[in-house]
Protein backbone atom coordinates (compact mmCIF):
# COMPACT_ATOMS: atom_id res chain seq x y z
CA UNK A 1 0.00 0.00 0.00
CA UNK A 2 1.46 3.46 -0.96
CA UNK A 3 2.33 5.57 2.02
CA UNK A 4 -0.01 8.56 1.24
CA UNK A 5 -3.08 6.29 0.93
CA UNK A 6 -2.99 5.70 4.67
CA UNK A 7 -4.64 8.98 5.82
CA UNK A 8 -7.46 8.58 3.26
CA UNK A 9 -8.16 5.12 4.49
CA UNK A 10 -8.20 6.38 8.03
CA UNK A 11 -10.68 9.22 7.23
CA UNK A 12 -12.94 6.68 5.59
CA UNK A 13 -12.78 4.48 8.62
CA UNK A 14 -13.51 7.27 11.06
CA UNK A 15 -16.65 8.36 9.16
CA UNK A 16 -17.97 4.81 9.27
CA UNK A 17 -17.12 4.85 12.93
CA UNK A 18 -19.08 8.07 13.56
CA UNK A 19 -22.07 6.70 11.67
CA UNK A 20 -22.09 3.78 14.03
CA UNK A 21 -21.92 6.16 16.95
CA UNK A 22 -24.87 8.07 15.57
CA UNK A 23 -26.87 4.90 15.22
CA UNK A 24 -25.95 3.96 18.75
CA UNK A 25 -27.18 7.37 19.95
CA UNK A 26 -30.55 6.89 18.27
CA UNK A 27 -30.78 3.50 19.81
CA UNK A 28 -29.97 4.87 23.26
CA UNK A 29 -32.47 7.70 22.87
CA UNK A 30 -35.30 5.32 22.07
CA UNK A 31 -34.43 3.37 25.20
CA UNK A 32 -34.88 6.56 27.23
CA UNK A 33 -38.07 7.63 25.46
CA UNK A 34 -40.09 4.65 26.52
CA UNK A 35 -39.96 5.24 30.30
CA UNK A 36 -40.72 8.96 29.64
CA UNK A 37 -43.88 8.03 27.77
CA UNK A 38 -44.83 5.60 30.50
CA UNK A 39 -44.34 8.29 33.14
CA UNK A 40 -46.69 10.67 31.29
CA UNK A 41 -49.26 7.91 30.97
CA UNK A 42 -48.97 7.21 34.70
CA UNK A 43 -49.30 10.89 35.63
CA UNK A 44 -52.34 11.31 33.39
CA UNK A 45 -53.76 8.15 34.88
CA UNK A 46 -53.54 9.66 38.38
CA UNK A 47 -55.90 12.47 37.43
CA UNK A 48 -59.07 10.41 37.76
CA UNK A 49 -60.31 11.44 41.22
CA UNK A 50 -63.81 12.87 41.77
CA UNK A 51 -62.48 16.41 41.21
CA UNK A 52 -60.59 15.59 38.04
CA UNK A 53 -61.54 17.48 34.91
CA UNK A 54 -61.38 14.29 32.89
CA UNK A 55 -64.23 14.12 30.39
CA UNK A 56 -64.97 17.85 30.64
CA UNK A 57 -65.88 19.20 27.21
CA UNK A 58 -67.62 22.46 26.36
CA UNK A 59 -69.68 22.84 23.22
CA UNK A 60 -68.11 25.32 20.77
CA UNK A 61 -68.88 28.93 21.64
CA UNK A 62 -69.39 31.99 19.47
CA UNK A 63 -66.66 34.62 19.83
CA UNK A 64 -68.84 37.50 18.60
CA UNK A 65 -71.59 36.67 21.13
CA UNK A 66 -68.79 36.35 23.69
CA UNK A 67 -67.77 39.94 23.05
CA UNK A 68 -71.38 41.01 23.67
CA UNK A 69 -71.42 39.05 26.94
CA UNK A 70 -68.11 40.66 27.92
CA UNK A 71 -69.75 44.06 27.52
CA UNK A 72 -73.08 43.06 29.09
CA UNK A 73 -71.43 41.60 32.21
CA UNK A 74 -69.13 44.62 32.44
CA UNK A 75 -65.92 42.67 32.39
CA UNK A 76 -64.63 45.84 30.73
CA UNK A 77 -64.63 47.58 34.14
CA UNK A 78 -61.40 45.75 34.90
CA UNK A 79 -60.14 44.20 31.68
CA UNK A 80 -59.03 45.20 28.27
CA UNK A 81 -58.63 42.56 25.60
CA UNK A 82 -55.58 42.77 23.38
CA UNK A 83 -56.50 44.06 19.93
CA UNK A 84 -60.22 44.66 20.65
CA UNK A 85 -61.97 48.03 20.82
CA UNK A 86 -63.78 48.17 24.14
CA UNK A 87 -64.53 50.86 26.74
CA UNK A 88 -61.40 51.53 28.82
CA UNK A 89 -61.31 49.80 32.24
CA UNK A 90 -61.88 51.99 35.27
CA UNK A 91 -61.34 49.74 38.32
CA UNK A 92 -58.46 47.38 37.48
CA UNK A 93 -56.41 47.30 34.32
CA UNK A 94 -55.70 43.72 33.53
CA UNK A 95 -55.13 42.79 29.91
CA UNK A 96 -56.55 39.51 28.67
CA UNK A 97 -55.35 37.90 25.45
CA UNK A 98 -52.16 38.87 23.68
CA UNK A 99 -48.97 36.92 23.30
CA UNK A 100 -48.45 33.92 25.50
CA UNK A 101 -45.97 31.09 25.66
CA UNK A 102 -48.62 28.45 26.14
CA UNK A 103 -52.20 27.86 25.10
CA UNK A 104 -54.84 28.89 27.65
CA UNK A 105 -57.08 25.88 27.77
CA UNK A 106 -60.76 26.51 28.15
CA UNK A 107 -60.50 24.64 31.45
CA UNK A 108 -58.18 27.38 32.71
CA UNK A 109 -60.30 30.18 31.29
CA UNK A 110 -63.58 28.82 32.68
CA UNK A 111 -61.89 28.36 36.05
CA UNK A 112 -60.62 31.94 36.10
CA UNK A 113 -64.13 33.19 35.39
CA UNK A 114 -66.26 31.00 37.66
CA UNK A 115 -63.67 30.33 40.38
CA UNK A 116 -61.32 33.33 40.13
CA UNK A 117 -59.42 32.71 43.38
CA UNK A 118 -58.36 29.21 42.34
CA UNK A 119 -55.32 30.52 40.47
CA UNK A 120 -54.43 34.20 40.49
CA UNK A 121 -53.17 35.70 37.25
CA UNK A 122 -49.39 36.38 37.25
CA UNK A 123 -49.93 39.94 36.04
CA UNK A 124 -52.18 40.60 39.04
CA UNK A 125 -49.76 39.00 41.50
CA UNK A 126 -47.09 41.40 40.24
CA UNK A 127 -49.39 44.33 41.08
CA UNK A 128 -50.46 43.17 44.54
CA UNK A 129 -48.11 40.99 46.53
CA UNK A 130 -49.67 38.76 49.22
CA UNK A 131 -53.09 38.65 47.58
CA UNK A 132 -54.86 35.35 48.22
CA UNK A 133 -58.39 36.18 47.10
CA UNK A 134 -59.25 37.49 43.68
CA UNK A 135 -61.02 40.86 43.75
CA UNK A 136 -62.84 39.74 40.63
CA UNK A 137 -66.56 39.47 41.44
CA UNK A 138 -68.40 36.16 41.11
CA UNK A 139 -70.72 36.03 38.12
CA UNK A 140 -72.08 32.59 38.87
CA UNK A 141 -75.55 33.89 39.80
CA UNK A 142 -75.99 36.15 36.83
CA UNK A 143 -73.99 34.65 33.95
CA UNK A 144 -75.72 32.09 31.78
CA UNK A 145 -73.89 28.93 30.73
CA UNK A 146 -74.15 30.11 27.14
CA UNK A 147 -72.48 33.41 28.03
CA UNK A 148 -69.68 31.53 29.75
CA UNK A 149 -69.08 29.30 26.73
CA UNK A 150 -69.11 32.28 24.37
CA UNK A 151 -66.82 34.30 26.65
CA UNK A 152 -64.25 31.51 26.54
CA UNK A 153 -64.45 31.37 22.72
CA UNK A 154 -64.03 35.15 22.59
CA UNK A 155 -61.05 35.28 24.96
CA UNK A 156 -59.34 32.23 23.52
CA UNK A 157 -59.39 33.74 20.03
CA UNK A 158 -57.31 36.69 21.29
CA UNK A 159 -54.41 34.75 22.77
CA UNK A 160 -51.53 34.33 20.35
CA UNK A 161 -49.10 31.56 20.96
CA UNK A 162 -45.48 32.59 20.48
CA UNK A 163 -42.76 29.99 19.95
CA UNK A 164 -39.78 30.58 22.22
CA UNK A 165 -36.53 31.20 20.31
CA UNK A 166 -34.82 28.92 22.80
CA UNK A 167 -33.66 25.55 21.50
CA UNK A 168 -33.57 22.82 24.13
CA UNK A 169 -30.03 21.47 24.55
CA UNK A 170 -29.23 18.02 23.22
CA UNK A 171 -30.43 15.57 25.91
Minimum CB distance to ligand HEC smaller for 29 or for 102: 102
Closest separation in Å from C-beta 53 to ligand HEC: 16
Subset of residues 84 to 123 that bind ligand HEC, contact rule: CB under 6 A: 91-92, 94, 96, 109, 112-113, 116, 120-121
By CB under 6 A, name the one of 79, 97, 106, 150 that touches ligand HEC. 79
Q: Are the C-beta atoms of 105 and 85 separated by less than 8 Å?
A: no
Q: Which residues contact 31 (CB under 8 A, 6 or more apart)?
A: none
DSSP characters for 147-161? HHHHHHHHHHTTEEE
Shortest Å distance, C-beta 14 to ligand HEC: 54
Among 58, 134, 146, 157, binds ligand HEC (CB under 6 A): 134
**Residue 8 neighbours by CB under 8 Å, 6+ apart:** none
Q: Measured between alpha carbons, how far is 78 from 87 in angstroms, rounded to an integer?
A: 10
**Helical (H) or strand (E) element with 47:** none
Binding residues vs ligand HEC (CB under 6 A): 70, 73-75, 77-79, 91-92, 94, 96, 109, 112-113, 116, 120-121, 124, 134-137, 139, 151, 155
Amino acid sequence: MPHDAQPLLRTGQSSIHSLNNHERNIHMKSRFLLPGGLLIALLAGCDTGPKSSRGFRLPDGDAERGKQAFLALQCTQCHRVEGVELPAPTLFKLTLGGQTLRVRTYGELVTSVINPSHVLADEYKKQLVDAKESPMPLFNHSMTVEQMIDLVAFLQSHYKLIEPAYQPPYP
